Structure 1
């Protein structure tokens, strides 16, 4: 299990750190590209919140998302409590993405699930075992 945990931590750390770069790039050069996420939100109030608040404030929200992803990525590479907090933060992020979706257009609920939600469930399932894994970083 320790090898699995090490690989998963590194893979997700790289993914979150890369995600931070993506948020910086799109926030600076293509902020309108965040708009389609409202189209795949599971609840109408979330779509309205996306249009009314997120898109109106995308100039500071995309760097905030990037800072969050840097913190999670670095936390996954850390030890002890920071690592556990990073895993919890990543799982919370995945819960949010699960209800928001990835903005892929879909015809019907099944296609929407496959395009916008299934991958998030797989990633959360891959990351969740790290919560139970002992922290072996303090070897004597």
Structure 2
């Protein structure tokens, strides 16, 4: 599982012009890409890192500040661009595998007491954020 975490001062996601998730103020945007091998262990490790990494201002975590997380499924994080001009998506899990894994990450964060907003799986989404810092971290689990 690969996750790109971005510290944000506000974020939103829209589908067909409708806002389906987001937050104002400080929080994290988590772009989550699932591979064929990802399962419960990767879900737990990813959720723990998202909740506990001290990457908010003053070395605080989402749990320390009660900050929200916007989780967006993003299979393109597993693009293979080593050959040619067209990315290969073979490393990304198909939707029927990936969707329950992303849902499990969301559930694991909520079980930790994190306020989680989401996009809509498989939709053509418009994600906006104000990257704070900028702080962007790639988390490979």
* TM-score of the two chains, using structure 2 as the length reference: 0.25
Which structure dedicates a bigger proportion of its chain to strand?
2
* TM-score of the two chains, using structure 1 as the length reference: 0.25
Taking CA–CA contacts closer than 8 Å with sequence separation of 6 or more, which of the two structures ends up with the larger relative contact order? 2
